[in-house]
Structure 1
Amino acid sequence: MKHTWPIDTVTDAAQARIATARLASAYGLSPLQRTRLTAALSAHLRQCLAKGGSWLLTLYVTGTAAEQAHLHVTVIAADPAAHPPWRTSVPCARTPIAEDGSVPDSPEVLAESLLDADEDAGVLLERLAEQEQLVAFHREELHQTNQGVLALHAELDAAGQAQREAFAAEHRARRQAEDARRRLTFLADASAALTSLNHDEVVRRLPELLVPEYARSVDIWLFDGDDERRPATPHPAAAVTAARTGRPQYAALEPGGLPGVDDQPASALDPERPLLCVPLPTRRAPLGVLTLAPPGDRWDPDDAVMLIEFARRASIAIDNARRFERNRDIAETLQRALLTDLPTTPALRLAARYLPATHGLNIGGDWYDAFRQPDGSLVAVIGDVTGHGLRAAVMMSQLRTALRAYAVDGSSPGTLLTRLHTFLHHLQPDLYATAVIARFHPDEPTLTWAAAGHPPPVLRTPDGQVHTLDAKPGAMLGIPLNQQIEDHTVHLPPGSTLALYTDGLVERRAQGIDPGIARLADALAAFGPAELEDLDGSADRVLDPLLSDSERDDDVCLLLCHVAQHAAV
């Protein structure tokens, strides 16, 4: 069986090394063989990470019944032409004791792997101690018979020194790996903490993340006037240089020698305190400068590199939050301009609610409208243009305007939807919509309605019964299909309430749409006649049980139409 692991980061390399060690043990490799294999693999993975890019580690076993089985390990770059592959193989058992190449991504697994590596190293040390005892025994015998043992003794001392140096180097490597893991963990946690779409919140979090571990103080200088809300303070010359050049600057009495950072004289504002001034870059120009004072006398060079990367991520977070806020303000302004003021009549009261999706821009293609026709009938419509954003909102506005224009001649709902279908297909062939139109007749207890690919209206009669008006609807508006959408008529006694809505109210990805329609029907059935007199309050009470989850992937639109007990439409 072949096992593969993609390697892009230090964490990927560590998990691949753990999985290799586990599989080597499963195929019966001795501690010595496992240690040699994993040490060679670790050295090569370290080189791969230094070169950068994506790598793929593959492990498999070959060998027939008559041949010795071998465990093969291969590391190949995403671009094989740029970096030659690395391969090694060791003899192994043909059938594994247990084979599991999966490694959970957790600190406990990494810690367990570290202890397993120490255990293998302990076995080697025990063998080395036994060999040293044996050598010492023979050295004592040879010392009495041959002066040449002195040369052997010197060689053994040199080997011991080399071993101690190797252990010291391993200790340093482990400490460096732990420091690298700490920095990567900090960057990962900081990136997660800076995901807010409120740029003030992002700016506020920056000092909290850095002080006191990586900085004694933090000053954030933004160029676009946000600092006007704070008292004006002078900025160090190194910060001005960083803003002008776009490169990090280090101002101190002595050069810092930090990688990727230019040295500057000490700041005149505080000559005794070193300062690291890092620009906040974007694709266009820096947003500002992050000025830090070290937590001690100076920064570790690797910490300085990490802080520069932190500033880059913080800049992206601030820039994204500002873009979102600007687009959100534009979207909310446009959405308010597109919402319709509902007509008021003694016989028919209307209440509408529109809630944007909680993800992305607060604008979409859902809409509602209500207006009178020349014969006195009142038309209520609710619709949904596919997609989100400004394009869907503009198309929704055009459909609403076209519908009002088509309705001037008193056409029925089915005819109006048929015309809208033709209009949308010719205007935007790649855009579609759904809609329901309900027509309340003057002086007649009837309701005429038609639907095109839209969730069915729900009607509550005065006796508390709820009916789903699911007679045959038309297809979606705008699809490449010639269709004539039919009208449907139902009896509408006084005191009835009609609910028109979009799928964002009733559809949930894990459940579908039918359970949501049933919950809407239950909510309408639970109202008493007196409660429906307060139609705005009833609209809110309908939304509460259906939108108990705070996250909405789609816009929500609801239009309630209540016929008074003793009045004409």
Structure 2
Amino acid sequence: MKRTWRIDTVTDAAKARIATARLASAYGLTALERTRLTTALSARLRQCLAKGGSWRLTLHVTAVPGEQAQLQVTVSSSDPAEHAPWRTAVACAARPVADDGGVAGSRADLAESLMGADEDTALLLEKLGEQEQLVAFHREELHQTNQGVLALHAELDAAGQAQQKAFAAERRARQEAESARRRLTFLANASAALTSSLNHDEIVRRLPQLLVPEYAGSVEVWLFDGDDDRRPPGPRAAVAVLAARTGRPQCAAREPGDLPGVDDQPPSALDPERPLLCLPLPTRRAPLGVLTLTPPGDRWEPDDAVMLIEFARRASIAIDNARRFERNRDIAETLQRALLTDLPATPGLHLAARYLPATHGLNIGGDWYDAFRQPDGSLIAVIGDVTGHGLHAAVMMSQLRTALRAYAVDGGSPGTLLTRLHMFLHHLQPDLYATAVIARFQPGRPTLTWAAAGHPPPLLRTPDGQVHTLDAKPGAMLGIPLHQRIDDHTVDLPPGSTLALYTDGLVERRAAGIDPGIARLATSLGGFRPEELERDLDGSADRLLDPLLVDSERDDDVCLLLCHTTEGFV
């Protein structure tokens, strides 16, 4: 289908527009599509009339098999060279679906067409209104969404800030916990270091090593007895004297330190530029002294000050305990030395003894040695060990030594004397036991009589350098609830022989037992030259002990008694 209209006037244009609208309606265009088409066509025709001249409107419906039919609208000028044609197209039905009504000719047709155009316009406006309502609805919905997004952003921002604060608080808490752990670890390690020694000089020397440089720039130790003052001679800071007098920690600085438990004072006149923290060393009776510190940086943290006060308290306890131990140890050593008698001088028989107290405890125990003459001129050499350690064992040892001397006045062989000591100890202290070896040297007789009760066997070195272990049948320990008679044993004793009596502290080690120690002692004794023992028995005793006591820490006392015979004794 193809139709053409000539347009020279406005009336021609209106008729052509009406014909286009009717044709569009006949080919199934909707009111909205018709309105769009006719509105665009009216605008174009108005421009054409304004330009003047003669114009032609062509409507052409094309239908290609397999494709959508189109209504093509073309407005062209009678002078194509001057005005280019205007074209538009819209999809439509391939055939008319209603009567196109022809072209309007009368006024009634024009009015009817105008009314129809108004109806299409009203329908278009109605749809436009619906679209505007829908747009307004979506605009409101978008506004509400934007408000929600803004609120969500505000909440997220607040949550982010709260999370940052929580992270910062957690970081601070973690740092504080780490600092607290570090301080507690320091206190634990420092306490272990301070209490590991019972030498108060050593403890005082360790104080600066523990504190510098982490918690103090420098450390001065003022002990009131003056023996352990760790500072050059000269006047003391007034704040240290105040701490000594009041017993309260003091801090001298240009600005208040606000440290818990510490009194603030003006800066020290001796060193006004450096803050000083003076900590008393308290005890139950009175302070031992004052610990004066300078800060590792500009000042101390409050928690560090609390930790340093506790450190000073622990250091004071360690120093006080060490001093008490040293005093008691000195008393114990004096008592122990008093209980060990001097060795008698006997022609032809040289004696050398060594007693080394245990390095742990009060240095007093039950080991003893003794040598004395019997009425018949014989010399009794004895070495023994009371079980246990401490003052009780030392007292019992003294009683046994006194009892032995009393029994020896009546004479009697070593076995007889040990048997009487066994009865004495069993009745005196049923829950206390002892071991002992007694050897008797008789002038003019080249023999040695000896007896043992639960004690390590004596060692006899003969002049040819051979060392013999005197381990013939010994008796049981003294004091055990058992009736026993301890036998005597006799061995040849040529001139130049050396007898070694000792306690188990010399030869026994926890990891190896006692037999390897006895073997080492025998080897060392056999390694001496005869002239060494003859000339310097005391020095030989020291040289015999040195390789056997490689460990400076001993849990038990050590006793050694050497008896060397010469031609003059026999």
Q: Tell me, yes or no, whether TM beats 0.5.
A: yes
Q: CA deviation at 1:498?
A: 1.5
Shift of 1:302: 0.6
Paired residue for 1:406? 407
AA paired with 1:186?
F
What is the deviation of 1:166? 2.1
Deviation per CA, 1:482-515: give whole Å up to 9, x if none: 3222222222233322111100111000111111
Deviation at 1:266, TM superposition (A): 5.2
Cα distance in 2 for residues equivalent to 1:160 and 1:247 = 48
Unaligned 5+ runs, structure 1: 1-140
> 1:350, 1:562 within 8 Å by CA — same for their partners in 2?
yes
CA shift at 1:427, angstroms? 3.1
Q: Which residue of 1 aligns with 2:148?
A: 148
Question: Residue 505 of structure 2 corresponds to which residue in structure 1?
Answer: 504
After the TM superposition, which of the residue ranges 377-386 and 153-162 deviates more from structure 2?
A: 153-162
Q: Percent identity?
A: 87
Structure 1 pair 436–422 and aligned structure 2 pair: CA distance change class (3 A): same
Question: Could you tell me how far 1:269 is from its partner in structure 2?
Answer: 5.6
- Secondary structure of the residue aligned to 2:147 is coil
8 Å contact 2:221–2:230 — kept in the other structure? Answer: no
Tell me the alpha carbon deviations over residues 32-64 of structure 1, each in whole angstroms, 9 at most, x when there is no partner: xxxxxxxxxxxxxxxxxxxxxxxxxxxxxxxxx
> How far apart are 1:161 and its partner, in Å?
1.5
Larger-gyration structure (1/2): 2
Q: Report the Cα offset of residue 554 of structure 1.
A: 1.0
8 Å Cα contact 2:200-2:322 kept in structure 1: yes
Residues of 2 paired with 1:506 and 1:258: CA distance?
Answer: 57
- Residue 142 of structure 1 contacts residue 149 of structure 1 at CA under 8 Å; is this kept in 2? no
| Residue equivalent to 2:308 | 307
**What amino acid is aligned across from residue 565 of structure 2 in structure 1?**
V
C-alpha distance in 2 between matches for 1:273 and 1:519: 61
- Structure 1 residues 324 and 373, CA, compared in 2 at 3 Å: closer, same or farther? same
Q: Say yes or no: does 1:451 pair with 2:452.
A: yes
Report how far residue 561 of structure 1 moved.
Answer: 1.5
CA–CA distance in structure 2, aligned partners of residues 531 and 142 of structure 1: 115
1:244 positional shift: 4.3
Equivalent positions of 1:159-558 (< 5 A) are 159-194=159-194, 195-226=196-227, 233-236=234-237, 238-252=239-253, 254-264=255-265, 273-534=274-535, 535-558=537-560
Quote the Cα distance in structure 2 between the aligned partners of 1:252 and 1:187.
26
Once residues 314 and 426 of structure 2 are traced to their aligned partners in structure 1, the CA distance between those partners, rounded to angstroms, is 44
Aligned residues: 428
- Alignment partner, residue 132 of structure 2: none
Q: CA deviation at 1:313?
A: 1.7
The whole-number CA distance in structure 2 between the counterparts of 1:530 and 1:399 is: 36
CA spacing shift, 1:300–1:486, aligned 2, 3 Å:
same
Distance 1:471 1:185, change over 3 A: same
Change (3 A) 1:563 1:244: same
CA RMSD of aligned residues (A): 2.8
* 1:143–1:420 Cα change, 3 Å: farther
1:311 to 1:508, Cα distance in 2 relative to 1, 3 A:
same
Q: Distance in 1 between matches of 2:180 and 2:298?
A: 21
Between stretches 195-204 and 275-284, larger displacement belongs to 195-204
Q: Which amino acid aligns with 1:537?
A: G
Preserved CA contact (<8 Å) 1:452 1:476: yes
Deviations 1:186-242 (A, max 9, x none): 334433443433323322332343344433443333233437897775555544454
Assess if the C-alpha contact under 8 Å between 1:143 and 1:149 holds in 2. Answer: no
**Aligned counterparts of 1:142 and 1:452: Cα–Cα separation in 2:** 110
Whether the 8 Å contact between 2:437 and 2:452 is mirrored in structure 1 is yes
CA deviation profile, 1:255-302 (whole Å, cap 9, x unmatched):
433223344555566666543322211233221222333344432101
**Does the C-alpha gap of structure 1 residues 540 and 177 become closer, same or farther in structure 2, counting only changes over 3 Å?**
same
Q: Structure 1 CA distance, aligned partners of 2:409 and 2:403?
A: 10
For residues 331 and 231 of structure 1, what CA distance do their matches in structure 2 show? 35
SS at match of 1:215: coil
Partner of 1:98: none
Whole-Å separation in 1 of the counterparts to 2:427 and 2:416: 17
Q: CA deviation at 1:415?
A: 1.5
Unaligned runs of 5+ in 2: 1-140
> For each residue in 1:112-153, what CA deviation from the matched residue of structure 2 results, as whole angstroms up to 9, or x when unmatched?
xxxxxxxxxxxxxxxxxxxxxxxxxxxxx9889543111111
Q: Deviations over 1:449-475 (max 9, x none)?
A: 111111111122333332222222222
- Give distance in 2, aligned partners of 1:227 and 1:547: 31
Partner-residue secondary structure (3-state), 1:147: helix
Please state how far the C-alpha of 1:319 moved relative to its aligned partner. 1.0
Once the two structures are TM-superposed, the CA of residue 315 in structure 1 deviates from its matched residue by 0.7
TM-score by length of 2: 0.69
Distance in 2 separating the partners of 1:479 and 1:287: 49
Mapped to 2, the partners of 1:271 and 1:547 lie a distance apart of 54
The worse-fitting range, judged by mean Cα deviation, of 400-409 and 390-399 is: 390-399
